[in-house]
Amino acid sequence: MPHFEEPNMNNVAISSKSAPPAAEDISAITKTIYESKTSQESLDAAYALCDILLNSVGFRGLNDYNVLQEVKKAAADKKNIGRREGAMFALGAIFERFPSKQRLSEVVFLLQHDYLLPMALDAIADKTPSVRDGAKYAIDALYKELGAEAKVYGLLPILIKYLRKGTAKWQSAVVAYELVGRMADDAKMGMESLEAEQAKDVLREAMGRKLEDLIPIVEGGMHDLKAEVSKAAIKSMNALTTLLQNDDVQPRLPLLIKSMEDPSTQSLQKAIHALSQTTFVAIVTSPVLAVLTPLLERSLNSPSTSQEVTRQTVVVVENLTKLVHDPVEARSFLPKLLPGTKAVRDRASLPEVREIAQRALDVIEKAMGQQTNGDHSESDRTIPEDVSKILEKETQANGGLIQIPGDAEIWTLAKPYLSTMVAEDATDRKLNRITGNIAPYMAPLMEEGKADAVAEAVFKFYTSEDERKFGAPPPLEDGEVEIVNATFSLGYGGMLLLSHTNLRLLKGHRYGLCGRNGAGKSTLMRAIANGKLEGFPPQDEVRTCFVEHNQGEDADLTILNYCLKDPELQAEGQDRIVAVLEEVGFSSGPEGRQSEKVGSLSGGWKMKLALARAMLMRADVFLLDEPTNHLDVANVKWLQEYLKTHTDITSLIVSHDSGFLDEVCTDIIHYEQK
């Protein structure tokens, strides 16, 4: 906000905190906003206006007293700097104060009076610095107060419309592009609180689905003749491409962005060549298609594309199409690639290129055929129209809306807005956000407590739907004990490996941890063993032990002395150490294996010693990373039987030996995504 003092409430008379203020009171305050001699006095009055309305009639006063219409008039007064400045102060104060107290005010700002944000953006280009500062304050205040869903479904459509119109002055366009980029930057995964990371997840997923509209607009800005606009658009595009959570495409993004910035045949060829050299294995989602489809279309439809580049293009089309699993996303993008692919099949000069195009066409047509022949994966996505029906049903079941003039129009706008936000939460399986996107918005429209009841009913409905689609959390069977149910994040160096991931372990179960190389499986187990995994139970609650044969530094010690010397085992006593060593096969006595040197042990015996140490530590969870490495067949068999017979020990196992995992594991945890 502008750097003024805190508002002096003594300067303006405030009416009762419950009775509607007199029109004369509001007129006096608005007159002060627009006609005051100092900026501070204008800002004080703007805050006073917000407080008097919030303490009485709330959001309704913005329309009943023509507050927003007056702001619009003042902002358009080209001859009066004070009125334009006052308009931005009023708008900023309203954006700052109203949403936190009455979420429904968002509907007034963003839907009913959707000219307000464009008006503030236009004021960014005002010749007067104080007006520009006020406009910046208003825009920042609005952005800060909006939730993730509101940013995507309330704010972003206004920005898209504003930029698409193409009539903004360059200063205003720069700020609009910066806002788009800011939203994408705010969606990046991190290691903040669970609530903050869930908001980022929603912002990332929802904004990713908007890239189809955003990419062409921002790409157009990259070619703007004004250098400042072009620079802002390029920066925004770089931010938008971070929404692509796809490891296959990620390394190619700089080249893809360059081909947008420089749409020459040569840069397009380089991008297509790079994509054709990519092995696609990850599921292809809407954000990836939004970035790649325009490039592929250009290559397919350009008469200057060589046969070799055409061949590479249809190869990429085929590979991408195979990995599009969501029929809604397929329906959005595949039709755009179909005509160009058909043209290549029909007119390419080289038989090889025509053959590859036919293969690509077969894959596309098969995918599109599945959409109409019973592919039910679309049902996993919740649509706003269905939410709207549930919302209306529960609203009526809880007494309906209170009948206050003007509310019907607000509800007509609010219902699809709320339905879209709830549909996003249900689709992304962020069910705990549903009530927060219903109750605070509906509270002013219903009798006290009724909005909470509606929100809870909708939440229960979609929780039940989620369990129907994806299964309910498995209940504990008789005798089962849950020893870990933790949500945590994991980082390594500058990389985020896991973001607020839930791990549930039951006593006596043996879990195989599977995932691609480099995903962070071993890093996860090391972090658990070292007590450095925030959110995971500490060692005094759940004792874990990394089972590994790393006895090299103590090779000259006898096996018994090795254990006696271990600081982790000091409290166990020699008798128990001897007994546990015997249990895993180390005989006692001067001639027994316990008297042999640690350095003389084979891989199998080193693994047995590591298991004995874990037992002596009274570990609840054994962490085994590639436990069968360096073991012969007999020792692998022994390890399998050992783990299976010790049903009081929970194990978390990483192994490339699929036979070992099949034989030992009771459960598989798939390390799929962050």
- Give the mean model confidence (pLDDT) for residues 364-388: 68
185 contacts 207 by C-beta, under 8 angstroms? no
Model confidence pLDDT, tens digit, residues 311-348: 999 999 988 888 887 777 777 888 899 899 999 999 88
Identify the pLDDT of residue 9.
39
**Binning pLDDT at 50, 70 and 90, where does residue 673 land?**
low
Average pLDDT, the chain: 88
Using the structure block, give the residue that is written with the tokens 């699993």. 325
pLDDT of amino acid 329: 79
* 368 has pLDDT over 70: no
Distances in Å between the Cα of 503 and the Cα atoms of 197, 448, 618, 653 are: 17, 39, 21, 14
**For 242-274, how does the pLDDT look when each residue is reduced to its tens digit (9 = 90+)?**
999 888 898 999 999 999 999 898 999 999 999
Which string of b and e fits 289-310 if b means at least 16 CB within 10 Å? bbbbbbbbbbbbeeeebeeebb
| pLDDT, tens digit, 9 for 90 and up, residues 577-636 | 999 899 888 888 888 888 988 888 888 888 888 888 888 888 889 998 888 887 788 888
CB of 448 closer than 8 Å to CB of 412: no
pTM above 0.85, yes or no: no
For residue 439, the one-letter residue type is A
Cα–Cα nearest to 460, from 393, 363, 531: 393
CA 584 to chain centroid: 47
Torsion over CA of 266, 270, 276 and 281, rounded to 10 degrees?
Answer: -140
Asked whether the predicted pLDDT for residue 378 surpasses 60, the reply is: no
Q: Which residue has the higher pLDDT, 450 or 374?
A: 450
- Which residues make Cβ contacts (< 8 Å) with residue 105, sequence separation at least 6? 58, 59, 62, 94, 98, 99
Where does the pLDDT of residue 485 fall: very low under 50, low under 70, confident under 90, or very high at 90 and above? confident
Residue written as token pair 């800011």: 182
The pLDDT, as a whole number, for residue 12 is 41
Q: What number is the average pLDDT over the span 99-126?
A: 97
Distance CA 69, CA 607 (A): 78
122, pLDDT greater than 70: yes
> What is the maximum alpha-carbon separation in the chain?
104
Pick the CATH number of 246-381 from 1.10.490.10, 1.25.10.10, 3.40.50.150, 3.90.740.10: 1.25.10.10
Q: What is the DSSP string of 564-628?
A: HH-GGGGGG-HHHHHHHHHHTT---STTSGGGSBGGG--HHHHHHHHHHHHHHTT-SEEEEESTT
Q: Please give the pLDDT value at position 374.
A: 42
Q: Where are the domains of the chain?
A: 246-381, 382-422+431-470, 473-549+612-674, 555-600
Q: Do domains 246-381 and 473-549+612-674 have the same CATH topology?
A: no
According to DSSP, the β-strands at 667-671 and 510-515 are parallel
The arrangement of secondary structure in 473-549+612-674, i.e. its CATH architecture, is: 3-Layer(aba) Sandwich (3.40)
From residue 533, alpha-carbon distances to 192, 352, 492, 509, 530 in Å are 14, 53, 11, 21, 8
Q: Averaged over 128-135, what is the pLDDT?
A: 96
Q: pLDDT per residue over 437-476, tens digit each?
A: 999 999 999 999 999 999 999 999 999 999 988 887 777 6
Tell me: the pLDDT tens digits for 494-544? 566 777 788 889 999 999 998 877 778 888 888 888 887 777 888 888 888
Can you give the pLDDT at residue 494?
Answer: 58
Checking if the pLDDT of 103 tops 80, the result is yes
Which tens digit of pLDDT belongs to each residue from 213-233?
A: 999 999 999 999 999 999 999
